[in-house]
Structure 1
Amino acid sequence: MLDANLKIQLQAYLEKLVRPIELVASVDDSASSNEMLELLQTIESLSDKIALSTHGKDARKPSFAVTTPGQPISLRFAGIPLGHEFTSLVLALLQVGGHPSKASADVIEQVRNLQGSYRFETYFSLSCQNCPDVVQALNLMAVLNPAIEHVAIDGALFQDEVEQRQVLSVPQVFLNGEPFASGRMDLEQIVARLDTGAAARDAEKLSAKAPFDMLIVGGGPAGAAAAIYAARKGIRTGVAAERFGGQVLDTMAIENFISVKETEGPRLAAELQQHVQSYDVDLMNLQRAEKLIPGKEFIEVQFANGAALKARSVVISTGARWRQMNVPGENEYRNKGVAYCPHCDGPLFKGKRVAVIGGGNSGVEAAIDLAGIVSHVTLIEFDAQLRADAVLQRKLHSLANVKVITSAQTTEVTGDGQKVDGLIYKDRKSGETQTIELEGIFVQIGLLPNSEWLKDTVKLSARGEIEVDARGQTSVPGVFAAGDVTTVPYKQIVIAMGEGSKAALSAFDYLIRSSAPQEEAKAA
């Protein structure tokens, strides 16, 4: 199950254990139980600090608890945590075994101080790149606080539970039996939801900061590049991001980032953050900008939690988000059959009928991926022809369980009140309305810039993108912009990084030129 190289790597990690671990398995006679036991036996063989017991009594089979004698830790995996979740398993072993977490001391203290009783259940899929962040955060919380329990459940393996609880997207988290959250969340975000006073404390702390020379708003590839270029100039640099990594966190395979043959979004986002933090940059996460206030000396940015930061120059790199269809039923059935990440949620629709909305590269790639999982895929494209690359179209048309409908406008998502049961579209040639019965809809129709908060201050295009010149300058002096939120064509990671670097250099040039007269006056 684990190849020789992976065993060697895992054994090296397990040498960091400082206290014994017991793996308590709950199994039956199924093939999946045998597969899980094989994995656990391999892990046991790699460290004398690990013992395996098969006397577990948990109702979910196969599943296993990760415990240590004398510690009230309630942490369990239901299923076989391979794929993207193998890292979650390794981290759970290390943390239960006493190896310290890399989380900040402040967040760790917040977790330990949480009062009450928290029983978390997280449904994941092995192909979901967003799930490990949630699983790992809740596992760590279970290690740190005895009042917190967590079980991570492979939704594809426990289909009856998934059907009963109407889980149609992952990661899906339940707290004490009730829906808590869906989608990617990190440790800080989860703790902020539980610690209701955290936002106010954070806002007060941020507002007390001295003005920055350059403040970057947004933490995607453009924002990270801008921060690095600014910090290398030796100026006071801050990054305020709602979610550091941005859309990169939701990207599965990256194969066109020059000099890196292949990587994954979450890995690239983590490397970006490490690079930024290797410089003297004040990184402020979980900060959603709400207002920009230009000024002669300082520009102020106000945030949703009430915080306000000031800077002599600002680089806006708030990126974009998935565009919605904006049709009746879409919001009502979001995460109830309407999904935006085929890699994450595809396995939950195994053997079912789904539709993909959008005939660009992302839509056709989604249809190809889903065709290997679901029973049938209907791809719906508004235009008269697909817009994806020719190589992708050839692959799509070679699949027997895919149907392509062009010149079609989706007009409504239908459902039974709990989940999607179909969609309605209009044939743009004949004007006739057609209905398709299905269980899932994956929307892949491009991006929408995160610029609503700038409507009254910065000039925007008709599409809502920030208008910038060749230097990244916006219509407001001292305010620059870069990346997918701007009018720069081709929304690509490598382009965003270049634009972020350019915007930071332009902002630095602005700072030099705007301060020169004042310095000359002082000298005189």
Structure 2
Amino acid sequence: MLDNSLKGQLKAYLERVTMPIELVAALDGSAKSQELLGLLRDVAAQSDKITLKLDGQDARIPSFAINRVGSDVSVRFAGLPMGHEFTSLVLALLQVGGHPPKITPEVIAQIKALPGDYHFETYFSQSCQLCPDVVQALNLLSVINPRITHVAIDGALFQAEVEARKVMAVPTVLLNGAEFSQGRITLEEILAKLDTGAAERETAAIAARAAYDVLILGGGPAGAAAAVYAARKGIRTGLLAERFGGQVLDTMAIENFISVPHTEGPKFAAALEQHVRGYGVDIINLQRATGITPAAAPGGLMSVQLASGAALQTKSLILSPGARWRQMNVPGEDEYRNKGVAYCPHCDGPLFKGKRVAVIGGGNSGVEAAIDLAGIVAHVTLIEFDAQLRADAVLQRKLASLANATVITSALSTEVHGDGSKVIGLSYKDRVSEAMHRLDLDGIFVQIGLVPNTEWLKGTVALSPRGEIEIDARGETSVPGVFAAGDATTVPYKQIVIAAGDGAKAALSAFDYLIRLAPAA
């Protein structure tokens, strides 16, 4: 199952296991069961602290548990944790085997103190780059607190179960049989939902913070670069983010960041955070800014209001709020989001195996999505508003060569149709003849670009007609002491490397602003 190179890497990792563990498999004679058996045998062969048992009983087959011998510590997988989830398997083996997790003693104590019993189920796909973080967070909870259980389920393998429970997007998490979350959710966010007093404690801690020399709003590449460059100047630096990593977390592959031939978004975001934390930056995660009160006079403190009710004070400010997926804004889209309307073909595509789907958007991302989905679904229809596709010619030729792909141009999507629980179709208008058409579909993947996260800044800083923050060559905005960088600004070419460079520039400009302020009397 595993090649020799992967076995060697796994063997090295498993040397960190300090407590005996057993793999208990529930299998039958199916091909998938034999595939899982091969994987488990390969895993067990890499450590003398791991034993394999084949007498497991479970309603889901194939599946297996990772148990710490002589305890109630256990983690369960239903299906094969391969693809992106192989890392989750390795971490589960290490943590059940006694290797300490990389979280603070305070978080461990918070997990142990959670009241009640919690049974989590997570549906993942092997191609989903968002899923491992969710699976790993819930696995960790179950290792630390025996009253918490978790099973990670390969949705593509248990298709009937997925349909019965109306799972239309991954990762989808159920808690005690009811929906708990969809999409990326971090360990901190999970704890905030389970520990009802955590939000109040965090708000009080934020309000008690001293003023910053520079505060950065946004944790993507621009914000991370700004934080590193500011902290290197020896000034008090804070970074506030709704989710550290930003849009990078939703990026499947990064192959154009200079000196890094290939990486994946979540790995890149983790490296950004590690770098920022290495400089002692005060990171305030899972918090959203709602407003800015400029300083009363040059050199005074400006205030940043948060959705939690707290406020932060700072001498200078760097805005890097990033962007989000643009929506169709048609009837039915909001109602059926994550119920057939999706924005990540890599994540959710496997859930639509053998079904009919549409992709909205004829740029590179739309055509790439259609090509990717064509290898999974029964048929994919690409719908483009313009009279022709805007994707690179090589991508257009590839799409045209696929027998189960159709392209419709000059089409305006007008409504998403559903049956109350899932998508069943899409209506569009032919922009040439103005005739209305309807497609019977099981899924709709929206790939029509990005919109800046700047609505909350209207009336505070100057914005372009597209809602982008207007900046000059130094990253300065229309407000003294406020700078900006990244995809939310008027800088062309929204690329990670450009955002990082502009974040560094904004930090240097903010430092230059600070050293030119009149000394306090």
> TM-score band, normalised by the shorter chain?
over 0.9
Q: What displacement does 1:417 show?
A: 0.9
Q: What CA distance in whole angstroms lies between the structure 2 residues aligned with 1:322 and 1:332?
A: 17
Q: What displacement does 1:56 show?
A: 0.8
Q: Secondary structure of 1:445's partner?
A: coil
Cα deviations across residues 216-266 of structure 1 (Å, max 9, x unaligned)?
Answer: 110000001101110111111111111000000000011222222221111
- 5 Å matches for 1:195-210? 195-210=195-210
Within the alignment, does 1:469 sit opposite 2:498 as a pair?
A: no
Q: What CA distance in whole angstroms lies between the structure 1 residues aligned with 2:456 and 2:72?
A: 46
Q: What CA distance in whole angstroms lies between the structure 1 residues aligned with 2:115 and 2:493?
A: 48
Within the alignment, does 1:331 sit opposite 2:346 as a pair?
A: no
**Preserved CA contact (<8 Å) 2:358 2:445:** yes
Tell me the residue number matched to 1:513.
516
Q: Secondary structure of 1:425's partner?
A: strand
Q: What displacement does 1:419 show?
A: 0.5
Q: Secondary structure of 1:100's partner?
A: coil
Q: What CA distance in whole angstroms lies between the structure 1 residues aligned with 2:287 and 2:38?
A: 44
- 5 Å matches for 1:189-338? 189-295=189-295, 296=297, 297-338=300-341
Q: What displacement does 1:467 show?
A: 1.1
Q: What CA distance in whole angstroms lies between the structure 2 residues aligned with 1:193 and 1:305?
A: 14
Q: What displacement does 1:74 show?
A: 3.6
Q: Tell me, which stretches of 5 or more residues in structure 1 are unaligned?
A: none
Q: What CA distance in whole angstroms lies between the structure 1 residues aligned with 2:17 and 2:95?
A: 8
Q: What CA distance in whole angstroms lies between the structure 1 residues aligned with 2:308 and 2:22?
A: 43
Within the alignment, does 1:410 sit opposite 2:413 as a pair?
A: yes
AA of the residue aligned to 1:328: P
Q: Secondary structure of 2:324's partner?
A: strand
Q: Secondary structure of 1:518's partner?
A: coil
Q: What CA distance in whole angstroms lies between the structure 2 residues aligned with 1:323 and 1:107?
A: 35
Partner residue of 1:396 out of 392, 396, 399: 399
**Preserved CA contact (<8 Å) 1:120 1:175:** yes
Tell me the residue number matched to 2:436.
433
Cα deviations across residues 178-223 of structure 1 (Å, max 9, x unaligned)?
Answer: 0110001111111111111111100110111111111111000000
Tell me the residue number matched to 1:71.
71
Q: What CA distance in whole angstroms lies between the structure 1 residues aligned with 2:44 and 2:35?
A: 14
Q: What CA distance in whole angstroms lies between the structure 2 residues aligned with 1:21 and 1:302?
A: 49
AA of the residue aligned to 1:299: M
**Aligned-pair identity (%):** 70
**Preserved CA contact (<8 Å) 2:33 2:61:** yes
Q: What CA distance in whole angstroms lies between the structure 2 residues aligned with 1:372 and 1:167?
A: 21
Q: What displacement does 1:307 show?
A: 2.1
Q: Tell me, which stretches of 5 or more residues in structure 2 are unaligned?
A: none
AA of the residue aligned to 1:518: P
Cα deviations across residues 98-138 of structure 1 (Å, max 9, x unaligned)?
Answer: 10000222222211110011000000000000000000000
Q: Secondary structure of 2:437's partner?
A: strand
Tell me the residue number matched to 2:366.
363
Cα deviations across residues 298-340 of structure 1 (Å, max 9, x unaligned)?
Answer: 1111111222111110101010110110000001100010000
- 5 Å matches for 1:53-132? 53-132=53-132
Q: What displacement does 1:55 show?
A: 0.8
Tell me the residue number matched to 1:480.
483
Q: What displacement does 1:170 show?
A: 0.1
**Preserved CA contact (<8 Å) 1:240 1:285:** yes
Q: Secondary structure of 2:380's partner?
A: strand
Q: What CA distance in whole angstroms lies between the structure 2 residues aligned with 1:488 and 1:119?
A: 47
Tell me the residue number matched to 1:456.
459
AA of the residue aligned to 1:164: A
AA of the residue aligned to 1:115: P
Q: What is the total number of aligned residue pairs between the two structures? A: 518
Q: What CA distance in whole angstroms lies between the structure 2 residues aligned with 1:440 and 1:127?
A: 17
Task: Output the TM-score relative to the length of structure 1.
Answer: 0.98
Q: Secondary structure of 1:179's partner?
A: strand
Q: Secondary structure of 1:22's partner?
A: strand
Q: What CA distance in whole angstroms lies between the structure 2 residues aligned with 1:455 and 1:113?
A: 42
AA of the residue aligned to 1:203: T
Partner residue of 2:375 out of 364, 372, 376: 372
**Preserved CA contact (<8 Å) 2:74 2:96:** no
**Preserved CA contact (<8 Å) 1:293 1:299:** yes
Q: What CA distance in whole angstroms lies between the structure 2 residues aligned with 1:148 and 1:46?
A: 28
RMSD: 1.0
**Preserved CA contact (<8 Å) 1:200 1:306:** no
Q: What CA distance in whole angstroms lies between the structure 2 residues aligned with 1:200 and 1:456?
A: 30
Deviating beyond 6 angstroms after TM superposition, the runs of 4 or more aligned structure 1 residues are none
AA of the residue aligned to 1:454: L
Cα deviations across residues 259-306 of structure 1 (Å, max 9, x unaligned)?
Answer: 222211111111111111111211111111111111131111111122
Tell me the residue number matched to 2:184.
184
- 5 Å matches for 1:7-22? 7-22=7-22
AA of the residue aligned to 1:276: V
Task: Output the TM-score relative to the length of structure 2.
Answer: 0.98
Q: What CA distance in whole angstroms lies between the structure 2 residues aligned with 1:490 and 1:110?
A: 43
Within the alignment, does 1:352 sit opposite 2:358 as a pair?
A: no
AA of the residue aligned to 2:143: V
Q: What CA distance in whole angstroms lies between the structure 2 residues aligned with 1:106 and 1:264?
A: 30
Partner residue of 2:387 out of 384, 402, 413: 384
**Preserved CA contact (<8 Å) 1:74 1:148:** no
More displaced 10-residue stretch of structure 1: 261-270 or 242-251: 261-270
**Preserved CA contact (<8 Å) 2:119 2:176:** yes
Q: What CA distance in whole angstroms lies between the structure 1 residues aligned with 2:304 and 2:398?
A: 47
Q: What CA distance in whole angstroms lies between the structure 2 residues aligned with 1:357 and 1:19?
A: 51
